[in-house]
Amino acid sequence: MYKRLSIVMFPILLVALVGAGVWGYLEHQEKNSILIKAENSYQRAFHDLSFHVDKLHTELGNTLAVNTTSQDAYKKGLINVWRITSQAQNEISQLPLTLLPFNKTEEFLANMANFSYRAAVRDLSKSPLTPEEMSTLNALYQHSSEISTDLRDMQSKVLQNNLRWMDVETALATEKQPLDNAIIDGFQTVDKKVSEYSDVKWSPTLLNVFQKNDMNMLSGAEMNADQIKEKAAQFLNLQDPSAIQVVENGKGTEYQSFSVSVPKQNTTDGIHMDFARKGGELLWFSSTRPVTEKKLDIRQARDAAAEFLDAHNYKDMTAVSYDEYGNVGNIIFASRNQNVVNFIDKVGVKVALDDGEVIGLQATDYVFNHKDRQMKAPKLTAEEARKSLNPQLKVSNETLALIRNDVKEEVLCYQYLGTINGGLYRIYINADNGTEEKVEHLRKEEAQVSQT
């Protein structure tokens, strides 16, 4: 019996064993193929990074060699610096450096990109580079040479010793100290050098580009959990605040806030809110729920959102944008000061399109930017500013607007809404000098919400 059974089972087991071996071999081959592709991708990004940093040094030198009166050549050189720096930043993002301290070098390249961009987009014939900016440009030239030399040294070691980036990823993932790897050591050396560059003086306006929301920017007294609970109850119109839970976030950091949660009937998640510790302003709130049908149109959704904002003391707001997803309307409102629409003071409101309930509010931009502004009268009239528009643009609406331009400066503009080539556009013309500051392509709903 056992002999007969073994005769039957042996071929089956043999086939199973061979099948398992083939499967294991194929899995191993597939894994190796993936690893080879990842290694090739890392190697390409690293060698491209070394090439572009070297090219960046060359381009900075070419720019400095140009006669200072040749503004067009300066502009071309600065644009090339910005373009190459952006490429280098992109290549760094493709390397497995997320666990490696390389933030100083990334910040340095980001500042360089923004410095060159800001200088290139302005009218150099009217506002040439200042002595301080020329000094910064010279410092960037010197330091880009140092960074390029260090990267080339690393590149030589990688090629001579056949170093693998997959070993870098493994070393970083294991988090063992010290990290004994030539590539890691090289990047750490570069980052340490960059952190000691004290002769590069970025202008305050450039640093403002990277300024994050800091609670120290806010006014008002420091709040405690009990005071925040009262504010949440008042906002939600709750008579009994006992169900409100308050948790403090970021204690001892720049971003100190309170998170609030409140149970809500017919939902599994409830209501969530964040308040700033300083001043106690509401940053956002969410009361999401399923919205299974749509009964309201754009006008009704906008009116429900406007009524909600007015009831919660967001005064003089006007709808400027509309989006819709999952039977929920997302409406952006900007504040209006007399005849100027202030796109810097914005709030976003989510409206359930079944019954008009407001189920979300994003007010961070409003909290950090809302203030009394003394705006000067525009130097140009609307008709004078219109001369900067494409003659083919059919304008349907115009108003004054305060925006932040590409270099994060607050500028007063004439905002023109019009159509051209079958598209709907919102175009902002600087109200002082006629410069075209920004162009936005709009969907029909976005324009409709501000006109209905």
pLDDT at residue number 209: 47
The domain tally of the chain equals 3
How far is the C-alpha of 262 from the C-alpha of 271, rounded, in Å? Answer: 5
This prediction has a pTM of 0.67
In this structure, are 337 and 364 located in the same domain? Answer: yes
Residue 246 included in any domain = yes
Element (H, E) at 110: helix 103-121
Mean pLDDT score, 32-39: 69
- Return mean pLDDT, the chain: 81
Would you say 257 and 276 are in contact if contact means Cβ atoms under 8 Å apart?
Answer: yes
Question: In the structure encoding, which two tokens stand for residue 59, read together?
Answer: 């381009």
Residue 192 included in any domain = yes
Question: In the structure encoding, which two tokens stand for residue 7, read together?
Answer: 């005769």
3-state SS class at 330: strand
Question: In the structure encoding, which two tokens stand for residue 428, read together?
Answer: 């902002």
pLDDT at residue number 318: 92
- Confidence tier at 160 by pLDDT (50, 70, 90): confident
Would you say 352 and 325 are in contact if contact means Cβ atoms under 8 Å apart?
Answer: no
pLDDT at residue number 307: 95
Weakest mean pLDDT among 104-118, 135-149, 175-189:
175-189
How far is the C-alpha of 88 from the C-alpha of 91, rounded, in Å? Answer: 5
Weakest mean pLDDT among 207-211, 277-281, 436-440:
207-211
Q: Answer yes or no: is pLDDT of 170 > 90.
A: no
Domain boundary among 308, 343, 369: 369
In this structure, are 255 and 348 located in the same domain? Answer: yes
How far is the C-alpha of 343 from the C-alpha of 438, rounded, in Å? Answer: 13
Give the CA-trace dihedral at 135, 127, 58, 153, to 10 degrees: 50
How far is the C-alpha of 206 from the C-alpha of 408, rounded, in Å? Answer: 9
**What is the per-residue pLDDT across 338-360, written as a single tens digit (0 to 9) for each?**
789 999 989 999 999 999 999 99
Residue 377 included in any domain = no
In this structure, are 314 and 397 located in the same domain? Answer: no
Candidates 114, 158, 157, 161; CA nearest to 136 is 114
Residue 8 included in any domain = no
In this structure, are 162 and 203 located in the same domain? Answer: yes
The percentage of the chain sitting over the pLDDT mark of 90, rounded to a whole number, equals 23
How far is the C-alpha of 239 from the C-alpha of 232, rounded, in Å? Answer: 11
Highest mean pLDDT among 111-120, 178-187, 292-301: 292-301
Q: Answer yes or no: is pLDDT of 308 > 90.
A: yes
3-state SS class at 428: strand
Over the range 121-143, which residues count as b (16 or more CB within 10 Å of their CB) and which as e?
bbebeeeebeeebeebbebbbeb
In this structure, are 128 and 24 located in the same domain? Answer: yes
How far is the C-alpha of 113 from the C-alpha of 91, rounded, in Å? Answer: 14
Cis peptide before 178 (omega within 30 of 0): yes
For 161, residues 6+ apart whose C-beta sits below 8 A from its C-beta are 182
Would you say 284 and 363 are in contact if contact means Cβ atoms under 8 Å apart?
Answer: yes
Q: Where are the alpha helices (DSSP H) in 370-424?
A: 382-386
Q: Answer yes or no: is pLDDT of 75 > 70.
A: yes
In this structure, are 77 and 192 located in the same domain? Answer: yes
Task: Report the CATH number that the domain containing residue 442 is assigned in CATH.
Answer: 3.10.450
Would you say 223 and 185 are in contact if contact means Cβ atoms under 8 Å apart?
Answer: no
In this structure, are 77 and 181 located in the same domain? Answer: yes
How far is the C-alpha of 108 from the C-alpha of 210, rounded, in Å? Answer: 12
- Confidence tier at 178 by pLDDT (50, 70, 90): very low
The answer to whether the Cα torsion of 17, 18, 20, 25 is positive or negative is positive
In this structure, are 160 and 278 located in the same domain? Answer: no
How far is the C-alpha of 446 from the C-alpha of 366, rounded, in Å? Answer: 20
C-alpha angle 439/441/445, rounded to 5°? 135
3-state SS class at 55: helix
- Listed in order, strand segments (DSSP E) in 140-277 are 245-249, 257-262, 271-276
Terminal CA-CA length for the chain: 89
What phi-psi label fits residue 104: left (phi over 0), alpha (psi between -120 and 50 degrees) or beta? alpha
Would you say 327 and 354 are in contact if contact means Cβ atoms under 8 Å apart?
Answer: yes
Question: Which of residues 283 and 254 earns the better pLDDT score?
Answer: 283
pLDDT at residue number 92: 83
**What is the per-residue pLDDT across 277-305, written as a single tens digit (0 to 9) for each?**
888 999 999 988 888 899 999 899 999 99
Weakest mean pLDDT among 94-98, 142-146, 229-233, 264-268:
264-268
Residue 2 included in any domain = no
Weakest mean pLDDT among 191-195, 291-295, 330-334, 387-391:
191-195
DSSP state of 414: E
Mean pLDDT score, 253-260: 80
Question: Which of residues 167 and 129 earns the better pLDDT score?
Answer: 129
Range of the domain at 337: 220-369
In this structure, are 153 and 224 located in the same domain? Answer: no
How far is the C-alpha of 70 from the C-alpha of 77, rounded, in Å? Answer: 11
In this structure, are 34 and 107 located in the same domain? Answer: yes
- Confidence tier at 309 by pLDDT (50, 70, 90): very high
Length of the chain counted residue by residue: 452
Residue 6 included in any domain = no
pLDDT at residue number 207: 47
Question: In the structure encoding, which two tokens stand for residue 333, read together?
Answer: 């409102």
Q: Answer yes or no: is pLDDT of 58 > 80.
A: yes
